[in-house]
């Protein structure tokens, strides 16, 4: 991909002080993708060493925007528990108007290989999550308010309940990025907050359904490591993975427990060792 076409696109990474270690490793792993589009980092913290670290990276720029975290704190924070998860809605605003495609990626990811072809996709792109629990929580179906809201909004609950994107990697073309979609995501979040199981991820899936968007199974662009324990996930070889996502199993939290579980995960461990410092003090 040429320099000029790279300039049309950008990558957005959002984090706060709770995720510094992930974000640092994620940003360093872009050395595996030297010709990447410019990275806009939205860092909601004041650590001067992190600000200097961002400044020193090539094609990486801190983007100063104050996320509305007090408002996000009132929404359903689900399994993650941090209002920062709703921060990714900023990618639907007109903030990145000068760019053709915006690629949002979670900071708990590692780039293993370049993926310029992802930016050639013309439509919104995200992969299936296939989480153990569906999109709406257990109590939703017993709730008349939920049933009448979904009916008014033309959301077929049984169908949508069994769909879900993973919000760790989202390619958002320009035509979806405007005040109307940004506000719509916030409205959906408030409207369905008591009824969703996976917070922002549930809401973005509802948005995808209402836009008639397809969800991909191309897991090389978002290889969620919790899926490695599930047989249905065997269709992507680790050798082919371009973006590794520490979903559920996280370094310095519970990742070692996963790696000890089976010799099948030796290759995964090698990849993590080679591409991060997460396992440096682990023998
Ligand atoms: Mn994540």
Share of the chain above pLDDT 70, in %: 96
Residue 174, pLDDT above cutoff 80 = yes
Q: With respect to residue 58, please indicate whether it lies within any of the assigned structural domains.
A: yes
Look up tokens 């924070």; give the residue: 77
pLDDT tens, position by position, 12-67: 999 999 999 999 999 999 999 999 999 999 999 999 999 999 999 999 999 999 99
168 Cα: distance to centroid of ligand 1 (angstroms): 5
What pLDDT does 2 receive?
Answer: 45
d(CA 107, CA 223): 14
pLDDT tens, position by position, 180-203: 999 999 999 999 999 999 999 999
Q: With respect to residue 280, please indicate whether it lies within any of the assigned structural domains.
A: no
Residue 1, pLDDT above cutoff 50 = no
Q: Which CATH number does the domain housing residue 89 bear?
A: 3.90.550.10
106 Cα: distance to centroid of ligand 1 (angstroms): 5
Q: With respect to residue 119, please indicate whether it lies within any of the assigned structural domains.
A: yes
Backbone φ, ψ for residue 15 (5° rounding)? -155, 165
249 Cα: distance to centroid of ligand 1 (angstroms): 10
What pLDDT does 282 receive?
Answer: 77
Q: With respect to residue 8, please indicate whether it lies within any of the assigned structural domains.
A: yes
Domain count, the chain: 1
Nearest in space to 53 (alpha carbons), one of 36, 22, 87, 28: 28
Query: Quick check: 126 and 137 in contact, CB under 8 A?
Result: no
161 Cα: distance to centroid of ligand 1 (angstroms): 21
Average pLDDT over residues 228-248: 84
Average pLDDT of the residues of the chain = 93
Average pLDDT over residues 171-183: 97
pLDDT tens, position by position, 124-154: 999 999 788 999 999 999 999 999 999 999 9
What pLDDT does 178 receive?
Answer: 97
- Give 98-113 as a DSSP string: T-SEEEEE-SSEEE-S
Q: With respect to residue 267, please indicate whether it lies within any of the assigned structural domains.
A: no
Residue 91, pLDDT above cutoff 80 = yes
Q: With respect to residue 251, please indicate whether it lies within any of the assigned structural domains.
A: no
52 Cα: distance to centroid of ligand 1 (angstroms): 24
d(CA 274, CA 110): 11
Confidence tier at 7 by pLDDT (50, 70, 90): low
Nearest in space to 153 (alpha carbons), one of 184, 131, 198: 184
What pLDDT does 265 receive?
Answer: 87
Residue 236, pLDDT above cutoff 90 = no
188 Cα: distance to centroid of ligand 1 (angstroms): 21
245 Cα: distance to centroid of ligand 1 (angstroms): 6
Residue 5, pLDDT above cutoff 80 = no
Domain span including residue 140: 3-210
Average pLDDT over residues 175-182: 97
Q: With respect to residue 265, please indicate whether it lies within any of the assigned structural domains.
A: no
DSSP 142: G
Q: With respect to residue 22, please indicate whether it lies within any of the assigned structural domains.
A: yes
């Amino acid at each position: 991909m040429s320099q000029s076409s790279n300039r049309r696109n950008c990558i957005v990474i959002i984090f706060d002080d709770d995720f510094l270690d992930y974000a640092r490793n994620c940003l360093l792993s872009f050395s595996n993708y030297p010709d990447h589009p410019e990275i806009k980092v939205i860092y909601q913290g004041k650590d001067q060493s992190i600000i200097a670290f961002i400044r020193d990276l090539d094609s990486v720029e801190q983007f100063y925007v104050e996320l509305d975290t007090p408002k996000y704190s009132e929404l359903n924070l689900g399994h993650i528990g941090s209002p920062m998860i709703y921060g990714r809605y900023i990618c639907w605003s007109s903030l990145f108007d000068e760019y053709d495609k915006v690629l949002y990626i979670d900071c708990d990811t590692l780039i293993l290989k370049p993926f310029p072809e992802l930016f050639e996709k013309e439509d919104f792109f995200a992969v299936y999550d296939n989480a153990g629990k569906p999109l709406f929580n257990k109590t939703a179906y017993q709730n008349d308010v939920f049933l009448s809201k979904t009916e008014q909004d033309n959301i077929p609950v049984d169908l949508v309940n069994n769909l879900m994107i993973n919000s760790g990697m989202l390619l958002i073309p320009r035509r979806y990025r405007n005040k109307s979609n940004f506000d719509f995501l916030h409205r959906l979040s408030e409207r369905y907050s008591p009824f969703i199981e996976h917070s922002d991820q549930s809401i973005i899936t509802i948005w995808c359904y209402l836009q008639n968007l397809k969800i991909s199974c191309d897991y090389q662009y978002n290889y969620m490591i919790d899926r490695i324990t599930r047989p249905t996930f065997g269709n992507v070889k680790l050798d082919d993975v371009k973006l590794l996502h520490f979903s559920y199993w996280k370094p310095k939290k519970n990742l070692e427990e996963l790696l000890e579980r089976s010799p099948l995960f030796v290759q995964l461990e090698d990849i993590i060792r080679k591409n991060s410092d997460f396992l440096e003090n682990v023998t």
